[in-house]
Structure 1
């Protein structure tokens, strides 16, 4: 090793140590601090709703995002679409059919870093017995030992047969449902 390669090797070691020192790992999801909401249009008016009962597991390392994994289970009967009548209707077979399919599941298959604390998460969403690939873009906000994963995606009702029969199509309820979520996880 000559004298010129020693400083280069030392710099490489320092920079690699710095990047490992900044690695942050998150595990599990704090249900009380997390949220899943959605918006859609009904007869041209924007409607807002939430799911109140869900559980999630998360294993994520900022230095190894490709090894990350997320699993989310949503109790579909916990939907609140703004009124008791709407909530009751959404339990029926033509909508979520919660008697037969009580849980919606999203499980990641890959995570890709996009830069600037942004990530693309590919995975599979299963609702009402139908499984479809879903890609979610997520922004990670880190503060005081807590990671907040903010994301959103468009769910197509027709892909999961949500709103069949007289509810099919776009004339009453939009086919596009904008899903937003905030998953909060502590550092490990």
Structure 2
């Protein structure tokens, strides 16, 4: 009887560990973006990101996920562009070093397709966004890929003289890929 009680207690303590959120594999994951400057596409990415995900495709409404990006890790292919992007009129990295997305809901949108909604915070400003993503399980990993359009001026990215959307478009296409262990 004592042995059964010990096994039940051990099983109860093991349940939270089984349901623990999984960390993304940052070395295989990415956040990239495409903006337009004077109608010319400008591509970039962030080199440092992190995230935790607790997701069951059979119960998407129970999802808990949070992603964070180091805005100072911006890579635009030029030192000049990266230095400018970190300044106060753009990301203001000294004051706001991280961007964060916290998922508040996920719903199925077709086979292996989902829609997530949540709060995106950049420069201390939080806006609700929705993003569509696909899910692919292969071997020992799960890949989540999607995209959304960010309105940069809603987050005061590019203030004062940079707020002119004829020079830098307001729409920024954000593409992401997160790889998780199964």
TM-score in terms of structure 1 length: 0.84
Q: What is the match of residue 95 of structure 2?
A: 100
Q: What is the match of residue 152 of structure 1?
A: 147
Pair 1:70 & 2:101 matched: no
Tell whether the 8 Å contact from 1:117 to 1:140 is kept in structure 2 after alignment. Answer: yes
In structure 2, stretches of 5+ residues that fail to align are 1-19
Pair 1:168 & 2:146 matched: no
Distance 1:70 1:181, change over 3 A: same
Q: What is the match of residue 49 of structure 2?
A: 54
Q: Bigger radius of gyration, 1 or 2?
A: 1
Alpha-carbon RMSD: 1.2
Tell whether the 8 Å contact from 1:26 to 1:61 is kept in structure 2 after alignment. Answer: no
Q: 1 CA distance for matches of 2:21 and 2:59? A: 12
Aligned residues: 163
SS in 2 for 1:90: helix
Q: What is the match of residue 31 of structure 2?
A: 36
In structure 1, stretches of 5+ residues that fail to align are 1-24
Q: 2 CA distance for matches of 1:75 and 1:159? A: 19
Tell whether the 8 Å contact from 1:26 to 1:185 is kept in structure 2 after alignment. Answer: no
Q: What is the match of residue 13 of structure 1?
A: none
Q: 1 CA distance for matches of 2:21 and 2:146? A: 16
SS in 1 for 2:88: coil
Of the three residues 164, 170, 179, the one matched with 1:184 is 179
